[in-house]
Amino acid sequence: MPHTLPQLIDGQWLQSQATDLIEVTDPATQEVIALAPKATAEEIEAAVASAQKAFLAWREVPVSERARLMLRYQHLLKEHHDELAEILAQETGKTFADAKGDVWRGIEVAEHAANIASLMMGETVENVAREIDTASWIQPLGVCVGITPFNFPAMIPLWMFPLAIACGNTFILKPSEQDPLTPNRLAELFIEAGAPAGVLQVLHGGREQVDALLVHPAVRAISFVGSVNVGQHVYRTGTQHLKRVQAFAGAKNHMVIMPDAPKDQVISNLLGASCGAAGQRCMAISVAVFVGESKQWIDELAEQMATLRPGHWQDSGAAYGPLISPQARQRVLHLIEQGKAEGAECLLDGSQCTVEGYPHGNWVGPTLFRGVTTEMGLYREEIFGPVLVCMQVDTLEEAIELVNASPYGNGTSLFTRSGGAARHFQHAIEVGQVGINVPIPVPLPFFSFTGWKGSFYGDLHAYGKQAVRFYTETKTVTSRWFDDTPLEAGPNMTIQLK
């Protein structure tokens, strides 16, 4: 029988009293590999109370000690890198190489959190008035909550709790119920690194558990990554209850190809950016916009894409793995059929894909459409599968107008040899993350992950300096000290050195 995952409450791994359990399945086989509880109301209250209590002590821990905790943690993450990647690959279906990348990007944020002292430096001005000084202090908020998605079960939790905790907060993580084994292991290593009891809690469950955390009066800030509908719900509910919220939602990322771009590089980058991780990335390229004569490359793109082969995570030759669930697969298949019905030309159809030895896997083969218009469901909806749609325009200005008209603004890229075209594109485009000859421009942690428009709800983004601002408040102190010894001068005096 699969084991039931424990929850981390007040420094202890405890079995839930919940009778409602969620099956965690291997997406390549549908085998149930674990059961995740839906945390009870009492367990949620216990976790929040523990986090509140722990905050009172943790906020007083010197910032250098908090930084050293993160140094120990990133060392343990590196030691257990491959082990974490295996757990992640089994429960997500990602290839082993992709799973290792997921873990590594999270480690980079933990390393960044070890630099917390310099990130929390305030400002001072001496003599803002006569003998009066003013300083700003950066202080933690309190209890923070993270709600994370299935597609990056290592990277995205590590976006959140290391920085929040390094800032002096305590944190409650509610990971995706579809792949909670990896987040549990991340938390185990955090405790092993020396985190005090109550600084990090891990609760499992679904919408009911999320809603309880969104409205809890002790919760100060909420970080979320997931779908558009849920992101809007989290943002509305959290802000209505006077929480600070950052909610990363959907995307429709365009890659614009100029006719002067290096063709082989364009095609190679499109393959990985559209089908990597089975397209289940919020930064995946799902729209290729061919400008002018570059449209002649679409047929060659189809030939190259047809060579991509999905497979099990232990298959070193597999380009990507299965989708996360049968429901996710059915949704992608529906959008493929809808695209055909609406008149798009399907150059490569992966809807009948099978993988030998894994007849029950959530497989979708690489799929390519041409002749897609902005009115089609293939263009309007986030597909979240290995499906790429091709559109054709005559000029760079038309491409910019197309991208800017999208309600989403997570990422975009331009492939060109022209510095002038690149500068104009990066200046005019209304998207948070822009790549120039880089298909998926996810920044390293010392910059911030910056979605725009319908891809993000909130004011301050993930990791980098903006995350530190999100997880802290600024206190301004204006001070004047009186000396018992009177000054030997009158008003408007100049102090004489003796």
Judging by DSSP bridges, how do beta strands 21-25 and 32-37 pair with one another?
antiparallel
- Which structure tokens are listed for 1? 């029988």
C-alpha dihedral sign at 9, 13, 17, 18: positive
Listing DSSP states for 105-151 in one string gives HHHHHHHHHTTHHHHT--EEEEEEETTEEEEEEEEE-SEEEEE--SS
How far apart CA 32 and CA 24 sit, in angstroms, is 6
How far apart CA 47 and CA 396 sit, in angstroms, is 53
Decide: helix, strand or coil at residue 173. strand
Per the listing, tokens 């185990």 go with 188
Active-site residue 282, yes or no?
yes
- The residue annotated as part of the active site, out of 282, 346, 353, 390, is 282
Per the listing, tokens 């990791």 go with 463
How far apart CA 81 and CA 88 sit, in angstroms, is 11
Per the listing, tokens 């009115």 go with 375
- Strand order, beta sheet including 285-291: 345-348, 367-370, 387-393, 285-291, 253-257, 411-415, 433-436
Listing DSSP states for 268-334 in one string gives HHHHHHHHGGGG--TT-EEEEEEEGGGGGGHHHHHHHHTT--B--TT-TT-SB---S-HHHHHHHHH
Q: What is the DSSP letter of 383?
A: -
Query: Which residues are annotated as catalytic?
Result: 282
